[in-house]
Structure 1
Amino acid sequence: MMAGAAAAEPPIRVGVLAYRGGDHANAVWEPTVRYLAERFPERGAVMLPLDLPGMDAAVRAGSVDFVLTNTGNYVELEARYGVTRIATLHGSRSAASGASVGSTLIVRADRGDLQALGDLKAKTVLAVDPDAFGGFQVAWGEMLRAGVDPYRDLKDLRFSGFPVDRVAFAVEEGTVDAGVLRACVLEELAAEGRLDPARFRVLGARRPAGFPCAVSTDLYPDWPLARLAATPEDLAKAVVVALFQMRDDHPAARAGGYEGWTVPLDYQPVHALFRELRIGPYRYLREVSLLDVAREHWEWLAAAALALLWWAVHSLRVEHLIKVRTAELREANRELLHEMAERHRAEETARERQKEMDHVARLSILGEMASSLAHELNQPLGAIANYARGCTRRLEAGAGRPEELAEATRAIAAQADRAAQIIARIRDFVRKRTVAVEPLALNEAVRGAVALCEGRARSDGVPLTLDLAEGLPPVMADRLQIEQVVLNLVKNALDAMEGRPAGGGVAVRTGRDAGGTVVLDVRDRGHGLSAEARDRLFTPFFTTKAAGMGLGLSICRSIVEAHGGHLQALENPGGGVTMRVSLPAAGGQGREDHAG
């Protein structure tokens, strides 16, 4: 936790589209935002990596001042929220026309059956997102011109989500026939050593003049920097001037792969593409015509026409052709049975598709759980390491008694079991299994978690005290998850006390509030929270620690809220912070036994 007086003005907030994930966005665009921070030392600047839904939400909420996003997303934001481009990126890979954004359709090099875009009919194609400009929409337009409607003519059109790297790997593994990448992503992955370019081939490959990458489509203007309608004009002018003054060999330009910034280019070709696809600002063009209805439901219309014709003939001949009428009724009955069979098959197909969608939804959780796996396993593995080092020191000093070493090895085994439980629980969560909860004595969970931090507290010279209320009712909770919350909060408190051994200690207290809710407080006397930390304390990947992952408090809040509770940060009057966990008492349960 960091202290410091709040700046007179908030930092300049730049929302950046993280089309290959947050780590890639930080590596590419953080130097540019840092350059702006240096040019505006009185305010500074911060970067917010965002996916497409996050970009839309940030602009709608006004939580950013500027956006740096792809060409198609800018056109949508311009129409929807009135953002205005103030500069266009001049990429180091720009073609002679200045354009540099396009799509590359890739297939495996050994697919001899795929030589042109028209060969994609009845094939499976993977793209990153339906709203990704270079990652799908540009390719969509090119496929339409080649006579392939991706929403009608493909066997299956799938979307992997960000980062775009998944598309190339899916093509390489053969799980899809073709993939859509933003221009130059294939070359970037090859340069990073993440794939062998010889295993891929570009469909309809073309190389525009001055452009170093193979593409399958026309090129469009590069990413714009746009300001929100509420961003002051003076600030926008100052930012543009600062960017225009950046040298083409500046470290920020090298990191971002561009040669500077230029005046806003003409984005009319993007509007033309969106008008052709009837998306974005031109979605209203998707009005259904009679021709569209006929093309979509021709079977039903034909059946209705035949039924009317049959009824007319039947009405004219009913009195004279009783036998013919009987035969026609039998035929109508057979048609009805056929129709019912077709409808039953359609319903079965819809149910199977729903099962596939549910399976994909479950697997999408795996990405989030994989991020927390390393963080959660850190605790038991750290404990195992501490116990093992303790045993080693005692053996080397010749002071290790058998009973003490046996106790330490039992503790190591217990922590190993705990790590296994964490892995099993994450696996169950991916399978969408409900976490088993049971009545839990909160004080016991607190003691178990705090015991892991006592060694560090002693080595840091920080007093670690427990004030556990007696007679607390149990809470309905998962013991391992609650221990994880306590452990994270206590470790954060100890981190906050670094460099302030004389400033007090860390206190852990349990009790009940006026409403009967069971409360856990972890209080430190550290530096407190800065204004930015207060606003983003529970945001994933935000951290004030030099080597922090920024996942601890986000995970803690998710666990507490999953148990029906709340996690909040309270500033102490004498300095420091109290992290308060509130959990509902188990209904109808007795009070827990307290043994000192």
Structure 2
Amino acid sequence: MKPLLPLLFALTLISLCRIECAFARQSGDAEEQHLQVGVLANWGYRQAEERWKPMMDYLSARVDGAHFTVRPGSFEELNTALGAGEIQFIVTNPGQYLFLSNQFPLSWLATMRSRKHNGTTYAIGSTIIVRADSDYRTLYDLKGKVIAASGRHALGGYQATVGLMHKLGMNPDDFFDEVKFLGFPLGPLIFQVRDKNIDAAITPFCTLEEMVQKGVIRMEDFRVINPSRPPGYDCQVSTQLYPNWSFAASEEVSSSVTKQITGALYALTPDDPAAIQAGTLGWTAPISQLKVIQLFSDLHYQEQETSKWGQFLSWLEANRKWGILAGLLFLIATFYHLWVEYKFRQKSDTLVETERQLKRKAVQLERLHSAAVVGEIGAGLAHEINQPIAAITNYSEGGIVRLKRQTQPDTEMLALLDKINQQSERAGAVVHRIRGLLKRRETVLMNVNLLSLVDESLSLLKLELDRHHIDVRTQVKGEPYFVLADKVGMQQVLINLIKNSVDALSEMEAGHHGQIEVRLQFSDDEARLQVIDNGPGFDQDPDSMIASFSTTKSDGLGLGLAICSDLVKEQNGQFQIRNNDPVQGGCSAEIILPRRPPELRP
């Protein structure tokens, strides 16, 4: 047994070592950091991922406990992601780096060496491109033209050109007619120039040559404004050159990880697949950003204060949900205020109209009271007159009967008595109608023949019409039918309207031939009755006369236009008056009554 003890002890030690190693590996895996690197997607998101993914794999293999992924984005997207802590590193131009370093603590780890231009670290600038067949030769020729750029914060895509313009004494704010910022990718900038949608495009250094190399455009179709080609460089540029892209880390990254990343970047060789895919010869120590700082100073970026509108937009971008909620509340409050104001005005108009109706009813009550007094007097007078008229009728009828009993009646006497009887009956009918007019009663709707109503009204006023030598003409259009109306009330209205026309025509100068036309028009759903004269018309607005109970005469039946309007409205009709055209002269009064419902028609 003793020889077996050392063997068992050795096996136990080996097992413990294996368990400890496995636990260490599991702990290392559990503590692996997932780090995101934001990169500027100047050629689009997909191209940025393809370009920088090998670089992320390279770093993941050389930094212990870390896994790197690429996150492409625009200037604004990278700014937001860095502020929200969603990315820990950023690969971008020095212009954006300086802009972000003023807001967030960043550590500059390395500067990229361009794979072109003999590996220079100065590879950022602007190229101003126009069509080769255009008349634009210098930057001055672009005054008042439309240009496009990738973005306002793009160092090579816009800011370098603005710096050049400042040196030439130009103000970019009013030099161009319009500056369009199209964002990424960069290809559409060149295509917009080619298609003559814009006059010129500001593109990053070498954008034109890269698109020619891809075969999407031809070099001979374009021209570079203010061109220069520094010794050792492969592309034309319009401005001075600035340091290349930088690799920066946020303060959240530990110093140990930062050191490993820096070492891995410096160790990258030009023939490494990650370097080839990224288009770089490798990385070098951060170079001076003095030129960029001077450019920003010239552009007053350091001294520029954010406007209140800019602060509001920034807050809105950072608090989009609250901004939308505030906007909705503002809209709701605005609509509520407008609704309350509308209801207030509606109530106010209702109160004014109610007060107007009360005044109208008061005047109407006063006039109805006067009409009632006149009616009582007239009724008594009509009763007294009706007695002798009835006696004359009876005596004439008795005389006719006695003459007819004679064998040889006196024909002349018989004819005379017959005329006396007819006139007495006519006088009795006139008295009866006058009593009906003077007696105001409740509205009673019945079948009314408007033609007969017009004839009766004209017969009552025949003497007055003849006295003033006024011609009356009646015109009927359509197939006549009965309407559902108050016969007495309608006759009161019609007599009042004709009497108003007679009074107006009687005041005209001598020699004026007065005319009154009564028109009846029957349609499928309504009947229209119009009284038209050629008198002087109204001096005031006819509608205001109805509302204010104005009158242009001192006598009459005591029924004003307002009462006429109320009488017609009580019968579900419409009443309106208006002046005729100046050539014809006079005024027109119109009554519109609905046709009886089908179930009440004969």
After TM superposition, the score normalised by the length of structure 2 is 0.45
TM-score, normalised to structure 1's length?
0.46
